Amino acid sequence: MAITLRQLDYFIATADSGQVSHAAVDLNISQSAVTAAIKALEAELGVKLFDRTHSGVRLTLEGGRFLERARIITGAVAAALQTPLRERQGHSGTLRLGMSYTVVGYFMSRYYARFRKLYPQIEVRVVELAREALEAGVVDGEIDMAVMLVSNLERGEEIEHEMLMRSRRRLWLSVDHHLLAKPEISLEDVAAEDYVMLTVDEARTTAARYWDAAALQPRPVLATSSVEAVRSLVAAGVGVTVLSDMVYRPWSLEGQRIEVRTLVDPIPSMDVGLAWARHRPIVPPAAVFRAFMSVTMGGGGGG
């Protein structure tokens, strides 16, 4: 079996984070997918790449040597992919880029930094706005392109969009929560628990859709716009919540662990994507940014 770029990406992410769980969160995939990729990579190479420790994983001598080669390989592929993009139109100019709060804080930072390094000729002017303002800016021509939650778009007849990532929503619980003992957890089970409600980026409105569809209501003990506050409260056992994998981290700021479980009810995903005006041609710098994001995310619409 040939080694794939995806296996290399998963290996590098695990080496950088020191934990399979952290790598999975950063990559927005399941922990089992990372583990399977590393095992397949070790089988193909015939060496052990990581040793397990009480705090995560540590590179073996062979793993450290292979990490250098893996970085060279992925860097060369990225350069080969990006060079044709830079030679097309739009390699200079100004890009007016809009982003929503959640996208800035939990998704876009690394890609923004990488784009700036690859395309220093393009001046990027970033504004952080709520969805309504982002949509208005795109339609009115004040924003060339937006990176936002396209699953919440309201002006679809005026805005074209392309999905970059689909992030599933799951239940967050403290490590000693009694629901962890259940083989299956439903929204009905969650409705009987104290609930910590996130309000930022229309989270409350989005949550209301699937709660209403199930003819149920959560029992909020606190509503906040701070994801970190939600994380801390859930980890401390104050309540549970349902949030996207994109904002999930296994530890609170206080160092308490947070568990996640998939609910049996159909819960809509949180979809992050690019948005631009349907009636207006994409300006060259925005076209370069769109191509960059598509290549970086594996062609767009990734899960």
Query: What does the pLDDT read at residue 81?
Result: 58
| 76 contact partners, CB below 8 Å, separation of at least 6 | none
C-alpha R_g of the chain: 21
Task: Supply the pTM of this predicted model.
Answer: 0.70
User: Which has more pLDDT, 90 or 240?
Assistant: 240
d(C-alpha 218, C-alpha 191), whole Å:
5
Distances (CA, A) of 88 to 44, 85, 182, 284, 288: 38, 5, 55, 9, 8
| 24 contact partners, CB below 8 Å, separation of at least 6 | 30, 31, 33, 34
* Mean pLDDT, residues 122-148 taken together: 95
Domains, the chain, with CATH or none: 5-84 (1.10.10.10), 90-166+271-296 (3.40.190.10), 169-268 (3.40.190.10)
Predicted confidence (pLDDT) per residue in 57-108, tens digit: 888 888 888 988 888 787 767 666 555 555 544 478 999 999 998 899 888 8
Task: State yes or no: pLDDT of 125 exceeds 90.
Answer: yes
Query: What does the pLDDT read at residue 301?
Result: 35
What 3 state SS string does the chain have?
CCCCHHHHHHHHHHHHHCCHHHHHHHHCCCHHHHHHHHHHHHHHHCCCCEEEECCEEEECHHHHHHHHHHHHHHHHHHHHHHHHHHHCCCCCEEEEEEECHHHHHHHHHHHHHHHHHHCCCEEEEEEECCHHHHHHHHHHCCCCEEEEEHHHCCCCCCEEEEEEEEECEEEEEECCCHHHHCCCCCHHHHHCCEEEEECHHHHHHHHHHHHHHCCCCCEEEEEECCHHHHHHHHHCCCCEEEEEHHHCCCECCCCCEEEEECCCCCCCCEEEEEEEECCCCCCHHHHHHHHHHHHHCCCCCEC
d(C-alpha 80, C-alpha 194), whole Å:
51
Asked whether 87 and 100 are in contact (CB, 8 A), the reply is: no
Predicted confidence (pLDDT) per residue in 166-223, tens digit: 888 999 999 999 999 999 999 999 999 999 999 987 888 889 899 999 999 999 999 9
Query: What does the pLDDT read at residue 240?
Result: 98
Predicted confidence (pLDDT) per residue in 40-66, tens digit: 999 999 999 999 877 788 888 888 889
Query: What does the pLDDT read at residue 299?
Result: 46
Q: Which of 11-20, 44-53, 66-75, 135-144 has the highest mean pLDDT?
A: 135-144
Query: What does the pLDDT read at residue 300?
Result: 38
Predicted confidence (pLDDT) per residue in 153-163, tens digit: 899 899 999 98
Predicted confidence (pLDDT) per residue in 243-288, tens digit: 998 888 888 989 898 999 999 998 998 889 999 999 999 999 999 9
